[in-house]
Amino acid sequence: MRNILNSTLILILLFSSNLTMAQGDVQDVIDDMLIVAENFAAPGAEGAALQSSAGWFSSASTLEKWQIEVSVHGNALFVPNSKLTKLSSNRDFNVLKFQTGDNALLPTVYGGNTDAVYVGSAFGQSFEFDALDGLDKKVVFHAFPQVTVGLPFKTEIAFRYLPEIFINDVGISTYGIGLKHNISQYFQKRFNAEDFQLAIVGSYSNFTANYKFLPLDIQIANLNRIDVDADLFNVQALGSKLYDNFEVVGGIGYTNSSFDYAFGGTGGSLAALNDALSGIGKNEGKFKGTIGFNFYANKLKVSTLLTASNLFNANVGLHYRFN
């Protein structure tokens, strides 16, 4: 009987030890993949924040009450070299290492291709996978429609919506709502559009991007994409001055962004990986400056706005006013 008890105890201890080791391997792989995901996707989230908050309103003047303006906007995000790559080291990881060398300059989502290969060992088995390739884009284009309606009290409300479209295997969608209120009316004896105008702008945007890549087998899951979901709140002071058909615009604002990341794929540990990944979602606030001009021709308006923060974005809009 004593031998049976001893044998049972030994089996329990061995099972517990192996289970603890397996759980430790899972957590180590998850922690390493969080680093891989953040280094790759974080610049893309920053770009999404700037593009989604740009171009809501191109003038401090407002539409007439119940007047409707339909617009088509195009954004061009200019990515600096510092956002194209990220230096990564073996010291950053628990189980992952680079196949050759202690360090690698890896592409972000905006960067190019790489020959770097990760190797690792978990659950008593070795595995390897290629580092993620970027989109190789120094300029990223993003277009969307918008509808703006004039409200009472020199106020406008704007809506934008773009269902998911795919550009170079990247799925992009956005929607949002913006509000503008002219405050020049309170200190001008007579409200004239030709006078200097000042307005306060607020907006909320949601931007999602799905970055697909070749499937990665990391033992605990098979991964094939990274999903980025960004919620953006923007406030801005906007000024404008009209000279006949030409209008100069400038503004300063603040954007608060919160990002959520998730891997797509299959595997028993995918849910645990994404639960951990939600912890790296950042809430960031950034100031931005805007300068631009508008050209009016009857019911048509062409607007151009350059917005600068940690990145640069150019917004061009074609607007048509009804009523």
Query: Residue 204: its pLDDT value, please?
Result: 95
Query: Residue 24: its pLDDT value, please?
Result: 56
Closest to 255 in 3D by CA, of 232, 275, 223, 282: 232
For residues 181 and 58, the answer to whether their CB atoms sit within 8 Å is: no
Here the tokens at position 171 are 């799925």
Query: Residue 197: its pLDDT value, please?
Result: 92
SS3 229: strand
Give the integer Cα–Cα distance in Å for 154 and 191. 10
For residues 192 and 182, the answer to whether their CB atoms sit within 8 Å is: no
Query: Residue 13: its pLDDT value, please?
Result: 37
Here the tokens at position 274 are 């994404």
With residues binned 3-state (H G I as helix, E B as strand, rest as coil), the percentages for the chain, rounded to 5, are 20, 55, 25
Give the integer Cα–Cα distance in Å for 296 and 302. 7
Give the integer Cα–Cα distance in Å for 48 and 207. 7
Tens-digit pLDDT string for the chain (323 aa): 444 444 444 434 333 334 344 455 677 888 888 888 888 888 888 888 888 888 899 999 999 999 999 999 999 999 999 999 999 999 989 888 998 888 899 999 899 999 999 988 876 778 888 888 888 889 988 888 999 999 999 999 999 998 877 766 677 888 999 999 999 988 876 666 668 899 999 999 998 888 888 888 877 778 888 888 888 899 999 999 999 899 999 999 998 888 888 888 888 778 888 887 776 666 778 899 999 999 999 899 999 999 988 889 999 999 999 97
Computed from CA positions of residues 93, 97, 98, 101, in that sequence, does the dihedral angle turn out positive or negative? positive
Cα-Cα-Cα-Cα torsion 76, 77, 79, 84, nearest 10 degrees, comes to -100
Tell me how far apart the terminal alpha carbons of the chain are, to the nearest angstrom.
Answer: 95
Look at the pTM and tell me if it is higher than 0.85.
no
Give the integer Cα–Cα distance in Å for 171 and 98. 30
CA distances from 48 to 43, 116, 205, 218, 236 (A): 9, 27, 10, 28, 18
Residue ranges of E strands in 192-311: 197-217, 222-243, 246-266, 283-297, 300-308
User: Residues 93-152: pLDDT tens digits?
Assistant: 988 899 888 889 999 989 999 999 998 887 677 888 888 888 888 998 888 899 999 999
Query: Residue 257: its pLDDT value, please?
Result: 84
Cβ-based neighbour number of residue 213 at 10 Å: 18
Query: Residue 145: its pLDDT value, please?
Result: 93
SS3 29: helix
Q: What angle do CA 287, 289, 292 make, to 5 degrees?
A: 160
Sheet holding 97-98, edge to edge: 97-98, 117-122, 125-130
- 291 phi and psi angles, rounded to 5 deg: -145, 145
Q: Identify the H or E element spanning 142.
A: strand 139-151
For residues 109 and 200, the answer to whether their CB atoms sit within 8 Å is: no
Query: Residue 12: its pLDDT value, please?
Result: 40
Closest to 277 in 3D by CA, of 27, 29, 34, 94: 34
Alpha-helical segments (H) within the chain: 2-53, 270-277
Give the integer Cα–Cα distance in Å for 170 and 172. 6
CA distances from 133 to 23, 44, 92, 227, 277 (A): 30, 13, 19, 15, 20
For residues 233 and 204, the answer to whether their CB atoms sit within 8 Å is: yes
**Strand-pair partners of 20:** none
